[in-house]
Every structure is written in C-alpha cells, then in structure tokens.
Amino acid sequence: MSKNESLQTWEDSEFPILCETCLGENPYVRMTKERFGKECKVCAKPFTVFRWLPGRGMRYKKTEICQSCAKLKNVCQTCILDLEHGLPVQVRDSALGLEDAAPRDDINRRHYMENQARTDTPLDFSGRANPAGREMLKRMARRGPYYERNKPHLCSFFAKGTCTRGNECPYRHELPKADGELAKQNIIDRYHGTNDPVAKRMLARSSAKVDGLAPPDDKSIASLFLVGLTAETSADDIKGYFYAYGEVKSVNVVPAKGCAFVNFKTRAGAEAAAQAVIGGCVIGGKSIRVAWGRARPKGPRADAPKPTTAGAPPPPPGSTRAMAYPSQDPTAQGAQPK
C-alpha cells in the first residue's frame, strides 16, 4: 500500500453524525472543523473533529470517534449512544441479539470497513431484530433530546471544597451523585457494547421491571416459563438451549399453548439462564419470551411456607405482570387455538 493510499483512509467530512442531544437545541449551531484534528478513539484513524457549544450554559462538545466507526454501529460520534434509541450499544445489541462483529485489530477492521463501504448498505439495527427485543428497545428508548447531558462537567475542586473560582468557574458546582459508574466507562467498551456498567444496570432494571426476570424472593423457585414456542419446538430443543446455563432437571412443554417450563436443578442455574435471556431468546428460529416460574399459591395464607413446586404455573389472570401467564393445563379456559 502506497503512502497516498493510506492517506486516503483518513477521514474528511462536512458534517458530524450526531444525536439530537449532543447537537443541542439550535440545529444551526456554529461549529469549528479541524481536518484530521485528532485520532478516532476507537480505530485511531485521524478524522475531522467538530467542536461546538450546544446551547447557553452548556459545555463545549466535540466528536470523539470517526464517521466510519459511528456508521458501523449507528451511534453518535460524540456520546457513542445508539442514534435511533439514545441507548448504549450494549443495551441495543443485547435486546436485538446482535453480535459485535466489528474487529478490534487494525488490519481486520480496515478490511471490514472497506467491505462495508463497498456494499454501501447501512447495517439494519432494528429490522432484523426479534419482535420482543424491538419492543424492549421501544420501552427503554429516551423520548426526545436530553440537554441536561450537555451541562458542564462537575468541578472536582468544588466537591473537595477547595474551588476558589466561584461564579467564574467553568465547571458545575454540584456534588457528585453516589455512583461513579459513568465516570468509569471506557469509550472502546461502550463502542463495542461490552463491559458497560451503565448498560448492565439499565438491562437489569428493565428486565426486572418488565419481563419479570428479577429473581423471585422464594429461593425454591428454579424454573423459567417460556412463551411463543412453535408446535415443533421439542423439550430437547429447549433443554439444548438452556443446558449451557445450568443443569436442566426437566422441561414441560404445553404444545397447545406454545409455552413451556424449564426446571433447573439449582436456583443458580435458573438465575444464570434468566440473566442470559434478558430481552428474550431465539429457539428453533422463533423469538421466545421468558419469565420466572412461580410457586403455586396454596390457600389464602400467602405468607405460609410453600413447598417446592418447580414448574408450577405462574399466577392466574389479574396478575400485574406485563406477560399473560396461561395455565399449565392446556384445556383450561382461555386456551387459544394456535
């Protein structure tokens, strides 16, 4: 490869790829542009750096990664959040079941990007997703821009009580919130969607809230409930899928209802599986929704100690859960012919 060729891989661009939040309220904001101003924080290629003030009282922002890297993941060049949903890559990719295909080493990445550029088909980050994952993203997506994020960074001297600049201080005089996870984020991890503490917390919160995947307090429960199976899905298919997370004691399929119970030998196995299937999973080419099984209610005393009833059906209609739990008995009322 000649010197000229390698220069051509440097990136020059007219306008940055930004999310609404990073751009700020005024779409006609004045930007400074510096060709090959910095190296991309992901691929280290020199690229055009844009810098602008996203509104009064905000801090200056600049592009941190190159456009090729941004396009590859459909993320903002500044905040590295998904452009469509405003969510971390890891949240989007777990919900949609996307693999991180972007190579991390230089040579492979260049090949990969050249191929992408040649085909010129932007990656489809939602079209090929399973419906459960798409639903999840819709629920989690931030509606509208969030300009608070553009405020100046916190003044570290103020936090220690030693800032002497008072009103002249360009940093924000507020005490930091209890969790410092955001500060610990690493741009490359966030870009590849791995090891992102913020994403992990969002996923855990979302799944606990909506999918009923928060482990139930009753430690005797070691079963998961699956909905959306095809008539062809066998107990062996299900066992084969979940075996990786823990030893499966039994699988009860209810073909008429397209649902099944996976009973794990240990609670730890069930928890590992529940953790892994956040946002749903795909078995036999079909996207499956997953919830925790429940102990069968015994009489009016809800607080009475319950015997282990792994695989018992979750609660009947009237439950506030987002998912409809059919009874395990296929002939029970409410059965839908498939």
In the range 76-95, which residues lie near Zn ion by CB under 5 A? 76, 78-79
Distances (CA, A) of 305 to 39, 182, 277: 62, 42, 29
Least distance (Å) from Zn ion to the CB of residue 127?
22
Specify the stretch interacting with Zn ion by CB under 5 A; choose among 62-70, 205-213, 305-313, 322-330.
62-70
Specify the stretch interacting with Zn ion by CB under 5 A; choose among 68-76, 118-126, 229-237, 302-310.
68-76
Residues 222, 266: contact at Cβ < 8 Å?
yes
Q: How many CB atoms lie within 10 A of CB 254?
A: 19
Give the residue with the Cβ less far from Zn ion, 76 or 203. Answer: 76
Give the residue with the Cβ less far from Zn ion, 65 or 248. Answer: 65
Task: Output 269-276 pairs: Cβ under 8 A, ≥24 positions apart.
Answer: 269/222, 269/245, 270/215, 270/221, 270/222, 270/223, 270/224, 270/246, 271/215, 272/245, 272/246, 273/224, 273/242, 273/245, 273/246, 274/213, 274/215, 274/224, 275/213, 276/245
Specify the stretch interacting with Zn ion by CB under 5 A; choose among 163-171, 208-216, 264-272, 292-300.
163-171
Least distance (Å) from Zn ion to the CB of residue 136?
21
Distances (CA, A) of 220 to 160, 207, 271, 294: 48, 21, 12, 9
User: What residues pair up with 225 in beta bridges, in sequence order?
Assistant: 261, 291
- With CB under 5 A as the contact rule, the residue among 163, 198, 276, 335 that binds Zn ion is 163
Is 125 a binding residue for Zn ion by CB under 5 A? The answer is no
Is 19 a binding residue for Zn ion by CB under 5 A? The answer is yes
Least distance (Å) from Zn ion to the CB of residue 190?
12
Give the residue with the Cβ less far from Zn ion, 106 or 179. Answer: 106
Continuous segment of H or E residues that includes residue 206: helix 197-206
Specify the stretch interacting with Zn ion by CB under 5 A; choose among 60-68, 186-194, 195-203, 289-297.
60-68
Is 155 a binding residue for Zn ion by CB under 5 A? The answer is yes
Task: Kindly state the number of chain residues that form the binding site for Zn ion, as judged by CB under 5 A.
Answer: 16
Specify the stretch interacting with Zn ion by CB under 5 A; choose among 131-139, 170-178, 239-247, 255-263.
170-178
Question: Residue 163 and residue 35: Cα distance in Å, rounded?
Answer: 36
Give the residue with the Cβ less far from Zn ion, 155 or 253. Answer: 155
Give the residue with the Cβ less far from Zn ion, 88 or 258. Answer: 88
Is 43 a binding residue for Zn ion by CB under 5 A? The answer is yes
Least distance (Å) from Zn ion to the CB of residue 20?
8
For residue 74, give the nearest of 109, 102, 45, 104 by alpha carbon: 102
Question: Residue 127 and residue 296: Cα distance in Å, rounded?
Answer: 39
Distances (CA, A) of 318 to 138, 144, 217: 25, 33, 20
Least distance (Å) from Zn ion to the CB of residue 145?
9
Is 290 a binding residue for Zn ion by CB under 5 A? The answer is no
Question: Residue 271 and residue 216: Cα distance in Å, rounded?
Answer: 10
Question: Residue 45 and residue 80: Cα distance in Å, rounded?
Answer: 17
Specify the stretch interacting with Zn ion by CB under 5 A; choose among 66-74, 215-223, 270-278, 307-315.
66-74
Give contact residues for Zn ion (rule: CB under 5 A): 19, 22, 40, 42-43, 66, 69, 76, 78-79, 155, 158, 163, 165, 169, 171
